[in-house]
Chains A and B, each alone.
Chain A
């Protein structure tokens, strides 16, 4: 964690490279601050000069210390401002904050990653970690649902991953033109087809809450328990250190106790409206 003395002060990081993923999503490689490290699932607060701060998960490889990577979708004032920045510019960084996916709990087990839309970004570090330590895990499935084929992020990498025999990477979109040869349908249909041993599986979910709710229902139908399911939650965040109160979810501060929660720790509130 940076700036322990004053957790509200950002460190300045230069933008090394910007890669366009889709019409509204970009991947930023920053020069990391000294002694920076993160665990897959954690996030940073990125500050744009004069505009504001936004919480963004780290989407890069945790073993590569030379680059701090975020994948950002331009949807709000701050993310839109970030996405206008170019290589050579800089942003403020506070972090890494929050809980991580606890990949060590999945060692020796089958792993199912369910991602929706930009939700693949916080799971990408998990994929990197698993592939770098492939022998430690059983069968690994990545099930990725998004809107259209034009909304797929990390395209080239996904092609590489799909070519591997030790990783089952499935993609489904909500709708596609007739020349698409991949799957069309909701991500739950991929869960039904994935191969894993329900008793010895850890599932990690990241995407819109409604997608996670239906995915959880499907996983539970197949025999998983809440203790085997991890979800990454999204809430408004202003401070990321438990001071501002914005990210509360019942008894939890999503910034501090999350964003990654084991599902049983969010129950019985998970799935209720307006929490």
Chain B
């Protein structure tokens, strides 16, 4: 049977990961498709997976002080959606919605956490990948927060 391993290996997030590690992870992976407009997850729900986006676009939304939905970030092909599965109490912090038809590989968080507990070296590799993404997003969020193109800076 064909597994998802070659697809995982192609995704930029796993490009650096060694083959045996990928092999361990593939059991936690499944193929998912979201039609445009579908909600992928909601703030407060259990964060039981993360997604490697293969195609499409996902918007992370939050409620603004004026009670409107605002998009705080969009993610597309080659990017990773979600890291709340990694941090207790494993709840989503934003709503995620597919803007376009979105294809992704979902990795089950509980399954991953167990594998990482058994294999700390794999856990360390994964954590390094997420740390990089989190740093990039924190930096970007700070830039957005600074309102650098603003009118009254």
| Contact between chain A and chain B defined by CB under 8 Å | yes
B143 at the interface (CB under 8 A from A): yes
A184:B73 contact, CB within 8 angstroms: yes
Q: A147-B150, A174-B149, A211-B148 are in contact. Are A184 and B139 (CB under 8 A)?
A: no
* A contacts with B: majority SS: mixed
Closest to A176 in B: B71
Q: Which of B87-121 contact A (CB under 8 A)?
A: 97, 99-100
Number of A-B residue pairs having CB atoms within 8 Å of each other in the complex: 78
Query: Chain A contacts of B78 at CB under 8 A?
Result: 193
A175 at the interface (CB under 8 A from B): yes
Interface size on B, residues (CB 8 A): 28
B148 touches which of A24, A181, A208 (Cβ 8 Å): A208
Q: A175-B70, A175-B72, A178-B68 are in contact. Are A188 and B151 (CB under 8 A)?
A: no
B52 at the interface (CB under 8 A from A): no
CA A172 to CA B70, docked complex, whole Å:
14
Closest to A149 in B: B71
A185 touches which of B68, B69, B140, B149 (Cβ 8 Å): B140
Q: A175-B144, A186-B143, A193-B78 are in contact. Are A147 and B72 (CB under 8 A)?
A: no
A181-192: contact bitstring with B at CB < 8 Å (1 yes, 0 no)?
Answer: 111111011000
B55 at the interface (CB under 8 A from A): no
Closest to B148 in A: A208
Chain B residues close to A by CB (< 8 Å):
57, 59, 61, 68-74, 76-78, 97, 99-100, 136, 139-141, 143-144, 146-151
Can you list 26 pairs linking A and B with CB atoms under 8 Å apart? A118-B149, A145-B149, A147-B147, A174-B147, A175-B70, A175-B144, A177-B68, A177-B69, A177-B71, A178-B61, A178-B69, A178-B71, A181-B100, A183-B57, A184-B73, A185-B73, A188-B139, A188-B143, A189-B136, A189-B140, A193-B77, A207-B149, A208-B148, A208-B149, A211-B143, A211-B148
